[in-house]
Amino acid sequence: MGKILDGKLAAKQVKQELKKEIESLKKKDIVPGLAAVLVGDNPASEIYVSMKARQCGKIGIYSEVIRKNADLSNIDLLELVEDLNRRDDIHGILVQEPLPPQIDKLDLNLSIDPRKDVDGFHPENLGRILIGHPSFLTCTPFGIIELLRRNAISLNGKNVVIIGRSNIVGKPLAAMMMQKWPDTNASVTICHTGTRDIPAHTRQADIVVCAMGQAEYLKADMIKEGAVVIDVGTNRVDDPNSEKGYYLTGDVDYDSCFEKCSYITPVPGGIGPMTIAMLLHNTVKACKLINGLE
């Protein structure tokens, strides 16, 4: 029977540790600051940004949410980011996705000062991850590795299959897990839409990470006995019998996989809380770097 990897508990531990660091910084008259930019009125984005702001407040990070209309031009967004780059009270900048079609995401990521890129999306920071000398680790992959570490699940020598090759999860996670670091050193396979037989790969894996955005894709017959299953997906599925008219589920068929795997992350309560915790971690780290304390 699977054991639940409790992202809420691990995130709480991370935040307690950060709170102590922030208290020490405040004794030096230094307050970490995070700016979140929200373009448009996507309800899910509003929830995420508000949640991040609340978590900042709980541990003592100064938080500022900047809301802009969906018709904001690419140039105006870049100018806003440049203003935030110059501000001494802001150490971390994030621009919430999804973004309207007129926004060039590469231009945007390049415009953020790499020292304030707490999401870990700037090509410089992604490149540093690839060569094994990171400044900031991309938050969701970082959260996955940290959750495994805090549950004493070693990656060393393990066969890992990642389903999904996005720039915010699949690619950076593969780059991190293959590094010869104390908490990584795995052999990594990435599966995607061009992979001919995904189950043939996942059945050989010690650890399967599902990050593809397809509800309940990973079934019990696709994993081996005792595998560790990490579910990164959050999918909204229509359900006329539900009070809300829908329910949220991950990329993993949780009920079937639970009996076969050794560990599994729930949705919600798994990787989501860890992603936010690592964003806060990166903000504190950015503050220390900018102030010459790290």
Task: Give the span between the Cα atoms of 252 and 267, in whole angstroms.
Answer: 9
SS3 259: coil
Residue 78 tokens read as 């870049």
* 286: nearest Cα among 17, 22, 28: 22
Does the active-site annotation cover 119?
yes
Edge-to-edge strand order for the sheet containing 92-95? 62-68, 33-39, 92-95
* 105: nearest Cα among 167, 40, 161: 167
Does the active-site annotation cover 96?
yes
* 276: nearest Cα among 161, 142, 128, 91: 142
Residue among 15, 55, 113, 119 flagged as catalytic = 119
Does the active-site annotation cover 104?
no
Residue among 15, 55, 96, 113 flagged as catalytic = 96
SS3 284: helix
Residue among 52, 158, 171, 285 flagged as catalytic = 52
A 10 A CB-CB count for 50 gives: 13
Task: Give the span between the Cα atoms of 1 and 54, in whole angstroms.
Answer: 35
User: What are the catalytic residues?
Assistant: 52, 96, 119
